[in-house]
Structure 1
Amino acid sequence: MNYREDYKIFFPDNKIFLSRNHNWAFAAWEIGRLRGYINARASLIHIDGHLDYCEPHGEVPEFETETQVIEYAQKLDIAEFIIPAQKNSTIETVYMISDDTVDVSENEKFKRAYTLNHYEHIHREEWINEIDTKNSIILDLDLDYFNKNHLDWGFNPVLLTDEQIKQQLEYFKNSMWEWDMITVALSPEFCGGIEPCNHLFRLFLEVFELDLNDAIEW
């Protein structure tokens, strides 16, 4: 399956928003806030091959409608969607699991583990103690997390094995937090191309027990 640039689907029963490009996650979080899925100042668990922690151009407006949100998110770069959500107070603190080589200094609003193993052995207890479960908690996953070739764009994927991928997806689904909503980016070029992206997408749907027939466009 090929994906147009604005490919976006939503699984209403699961509160899972899925898009081709990651900038649409900003729109999903704002829509989730407008609909009451999440409250402001949510905690974000961002699991990705990239930090995606870039400053957007211009001010972040306040939104009253979903149409306004969509129009704004469309103008964002694929790495600019987290900081505007923090500036807008939709997201309070972001917790990253990423082996990106980009160096960003940690602070009270930005915490980082480099791998799932690093999180489990070094940061898990600390993050659990920090995150107030009375507040909303969002899982934000980019499927390129499972491609370990960060040098080539659109080809030569180096994917984890299916067993490893499914084990990690099961862990994200069942062994971290009770997610108030989930956003997923397909990022086919960063997955190594359309075919590896499709493969990762199928594994995600399998583990999260989702049927594309139940999805609606948003």
Structure 2
Amino acid sequence: MRRPHLAAAALTVAAAALLTGCGSGDDGSPSRPAPSAVGRLGAGFIDPASTPAPESTITPRPGSWAGVRPSAGYRVALVTRGDDRPTRTLVNAVQEWAGEQDVDLETVTAADASDLVPAVSRAMDLDPDLIISAGEDLVDPLVTVTPNHLDQQFLVVGAELAEPTENVTAVDWTGASFRGEGLGTASTYDAASFTPARCAAAVRAGTAAVLSGRTGIVVWLDDF
């Protein structure tokens, strides 16, 4: 079930192509206004007396994100790689959320290890409001790409970046928490923890955080 770590040389070459290519707004045209959030985070999502610090971890009360949804016209690009059960469950959760919320969802699938960074590039070319990643193989490409595109919001579900920038939000839990960078699989990894209920909650909690401007943090979900 575990997939081999990316070859450093392939990642470097692909990243160079992305960083010199065209992304959202690179052609000088004005950016499309991002749709806003509808609703507010409920009690217990964050401490109302303080703002979460960058890279900090919050543990929201279950369901405290249920009152937040995207306004009309919200556009999401789902980038995925892998056919293991956890990744399939995450992809299904994103698709179900998008259908329920009437989100404009487009899916970009990386064909192989050499296509990981190009797949992220293709997702950015779609000019989405949010890019969601599903699949551990995408962690290292995101480490390379995200610091250079701070105007693009990313949501990593079921994994996290070791040192995320302010535009990267992650949702994680005990049994997931893969961080890439050659660290290998976490000793606590448990494929069975990627249940449909937890993955659905992770997508909803993560998108609610991004929509509400609570980005650059890790949303921790263990109560599922």
TM-score (norm 1): 0.31
Larger RCO of the pair (alpha carbons < 8 Å, separation 6+)? 1
